[in-house]
Structure 1
Amino acid sequence: MVTETPNLFDHADTAVEKAKPVDPLMPDRHPQHDLFICDVADAVLKDMMAHMEHPFYSLSKKPEVNIRRYEHNGNWIEITPSVKGLATIYDKDILIYCISQIMAKLKYGEEVSPRVRINSRDLLVFTNRGTAGKDYAALVEAIDRLAGTRISTNIQTGDEEQYDTFGLIDTASIRRKHGLDGRLLWCEVKLSDWVFNAIRSHEVLTLHRDYFRLRKPVERRVYEIARKHCGSQDNWKIGLSNLLKKTGSQSPLKRFREMIRDLAAYDHLPDYSVTFDPDSDMVTFLNRGTMHQLVEDQSWRGHLDAEAYHDARLVAPGWDVRMIEYAWREWLGENEIEPKHPAKHFIKFCKSWYEKRGPA
């Protein structure tokens, strides 16, 4: 018996659910190629707030209308929802779709714009969802939540502090067919400068296409955290309570522990196998090698000369440029980039690295 597939944007923190599906993954309704997509939250926060992952999106079944605020090393960020609630992790599928389309154009040298036309059915297929009337209606609600969610943050540089506020999408237009069915034809969204600039800077991550098959919102969130922190490493460990905090889940620790146990027992998380030690409450993510192989296949394998390393040390004083080079090569592989001028590209990467992180 197949468990009913949840609505496209019906957001539920299902870590508290007791019933377990026969198959922990939803069926692959629309087989497609691997996705090249961007995690918008990671695009800014991975450098501004080192070693922290903040939950931008709600995992709750009920609309979240409270302001979220996070602080770290003098930096802070606030996420303010509209009266319709905070954007959910399922609403984020719309951004993933838009960013994937833009990245595909960039890859082939085509012109891009923050305005993205969305074919509604293509989006539903892309995100492994049904195409019933309720799914189209949920799409409109999701766009409203994305447009209403606002982000404010400070950026400290030396003795100056900059305050910025922005949204996820700036505007949206929706076209619906007249008639009894009122079928949604297409919609167009204008991504915020914050999102669009992150895309143009290739601040992206490659996610496994089974991300859209994960049934529970909290499992999607756990995968995102593992994808960022474990990356292509062999393994990564984190305490259960800390992982719960990073997910943004409102579930009590006891219920969250049950969810992690199930995740480890079913072993269905894409790219990473999960083990849980109940005695120490430690969660370990083991790299399956799927993402590492993709990066290795796409990585630039050329060599840099001594002058490049010399110039890199000048723009990133105090840092181990060989370590930065490893991060650079991994970044090139993940983003399918083959630099035309590798030395200049690497030096620019080192300069940006230093500007965002400061002295080692």
Structure 2
Amino acid sequence: MAAFQYEQGNVKVKITPAAEEGRANVFDRDILIYVLSQLMAAKNDGQEIGRRVQISAHDLLKATNRHTTGQAYATLRRALTRLQFTQIETNIHDHGIGEWRSISFITDARIVKEDSTGRLLSVELEMGDWLVKAIENKNVLTLHKAYFQLRKPLERRLYELARKHCGKQDVWRIGLDKLQLKTGSTSTPKEFKRLVKTICKADEDQSHMPDYRFRLIHDVLEIVPKDEFLDIYGDQPSSNLADTVRLSGNAYEKAREAAPTWDVYFLEQEWRMWMSEAPRHADGAFVGFCRKWYERKGNAP
């Protein structure tokens, strides 16, 4: 399996798979999510947390919607191997200083089982320090338990993007071309649109996607929080500017004029990530950002 590379602006990410088991996948990530949730709960209870974590194998398998049959050991071992040996390389630029870093999800893994029955007893992992730091800084989003019931990798990725970018906003929109980049999909644009449309149609019919409603309008995916999600999280104060700054519909039209050929929803996300404080006039600040973006970069590639 070849390495996967992603570029956005001057940020580059390269993911190199494990030699035998391949690259860590979206279902392997369930293990990380479960372990991080346990660490987050411990921190919220005032306990000290560290990189080394021991958890019940049975609880892990049940929580991540995995079988607890005799094949569980081999399946779990392969998943841990992928998580440990998948290597992530990235570059970070800040105030004229560039940094290259190579990291792993976990650095050590241990499974304990009974020899006579093959029953799994416990799993012990040593997490990457960057993951533990994310918890210590409370830079971890909560996920609905129904996330583990989503069987399509693209469904999971769309939900993750919704939690990160939509949050408690009234609506979040993104063009399909930028969405495909964020998901890492290698499908053709036509096939990718078909896949997204299928998920949106199923969500419209069955409402199976947790926390958010997903609708495809032409070549733009629109994501809206469900009422039950806002009932739980809507009244909580937010420190995320993306949850507090609102744009009018007119702002998007002016942004298109200011930065022709660019996806205004992509520019909106760039603007929100660039902000350090809420602007007094959001519409004007956003349009000004788009105008300067176009002056620097010209037409979209």
**Category of TM-score, reference length = shorter chain:** 0.7 to 0.9
1:109 maps to a residue whose letter is: G
Change (3 A) 1:240 1:157: closer
- How many equivalent residue pairs? 241
The reply to whether residue 271 of structure 1 matches residue 208 of structure 2 is: no
Q: Of the two structures, which has the highest relative contact order with CA contacts closer than 8 Å and spacing of 6 or more?
A: 1
Once the two structures are superposed, residues 185-212 of structure 1 have per-residue CA deviations (whole angstroms, 9 ceiling, x without a partner) of 2120000111111111110101111101
Which 5+ residue runs of structure 1 have no aligned equivalent?
1-64, 302-317, 325-360
Deviates more, 1:97-106 or 1:131-140: 131-140
Distance 2:94 2:35 in 1: 31
1:188 paired to 2:124 = yes
List gaps (5 residues or longer) in structure 2: 240-273, 281-301
The structure 2 residue matched to 1:166, chosen from 80, 103, 113, is: 103
Identify the residue that residue 225 of structure 2 maps to in structure 1.
Answer: 287
What RMSD in Å do the two structures reach over aligned CA positions?
2.3
Q: Once the two structures are superposed, what CA deviation does each residue of 1:145-181 show, in whole Å capped at 9, x if it has no partner?
A: 00001112222232322222111101111212112x4
Give deviations 1:268-318, integer Å, cap 9, x for gaps: 2111111123xx3222112213333322344389xxxxxxxxxxxxxxxx9
* Of 92-101 and 231-240, the range deviating more from structure 2: 231-240
Q: Do 1:147 and 1:169's aligned partners in 2 also have CA atoms closer than 8 Å?
A: yes
Q: Does 1:130 align with 2:57?
A: no
The answer to whether the Cα contact below 8 Å between 1:235 and 1:284 also exists between their aligned partners in 2 is yes
Instruction: Give the secondary structure class of the aligned counterpart of 2:25.
Output: coil
Q: What SS class does the counterpart of residue 133 from structure 1 fall into?
A: coil
CA distance change for structure 1 residues 264 and 300 in 2, over 3 Å: closer, same or farther? Answer: closer
Report the counterpart of residue 260 of structure 1 in structure 2: 196
Is 1:116 matched with 2:56?
no
State the shift of 1:319 in Å: 6.0
Q: In the TM superposition, what whole-angstrom CA distance separates every residue of 1:323-353 from its partner, at most 9, and x where no partner exists?
A: 69xxxxxxxxxxxxxxxxxxxxxxxxxxxxx
Q: Which residue of 2 aligns with 1:156?
A: 93
SS at match of 2:222: strand
Amino acid at match of 1:207: L
- TM-score under structure 2 length normalisation: 0.73
Q: Could you tell me how far 1:69 is from its partner in structure 2?
A: 2.3
Name the CA distance, whole Å, in 1 between partners of 2:238 and 2:176: 37
- 1:322 Cα deviation after fit: 4.3
- Is 1:98 aligned to residue 25 of structure 2? no
- Distance in 1, matches of 2:235 and 2:67, equals 34
The answer to which structure has the higher helix fraction is 2
Counterpart position of 1:227: 163
Distance 1:274 1:195 in 2: 29
Instruction: Classify 1:70/1:251 alpha carbon distance in 2 versus 1 (closer, same or farther; 3 Å).
Output: closer
Alpha-carbon distance change, 289 to 256 in structure 1, aligned in 2, over 3 angstroms: same
Partner amino acid, structure 1, of 2:225: N
Distance 1:290 1:237 in 2: 20
Q: Distance in 2 between matches of 1:116 and 1:242?
A: 37
| 1:120–1:136 CA contact under 8 A, matched in 2 | no
Q: TM-score, normalised by structure 1?
A: 0.62
The question of whether the paired residues in 1 share the 8 Å contact of 2:17 and 2:23 is answered with: yes
Q: 1:230 to 1:319 in 2, by over 3 A?
A: closer
Higher mean alpha-carbon deviation, 280-289 vs 165-174, is at 280-289
Q: Give the counterpart of 2:237 among 288, 296, 299.
A: 299
Distance 1:161 1:258, change over 3 A: closer
CA distance in 1, matches of 2:191, 2:96: 45
Q: In structure 2, what is the Cα distance between the partners aligned to 1:119 and 1:168?
A: 19
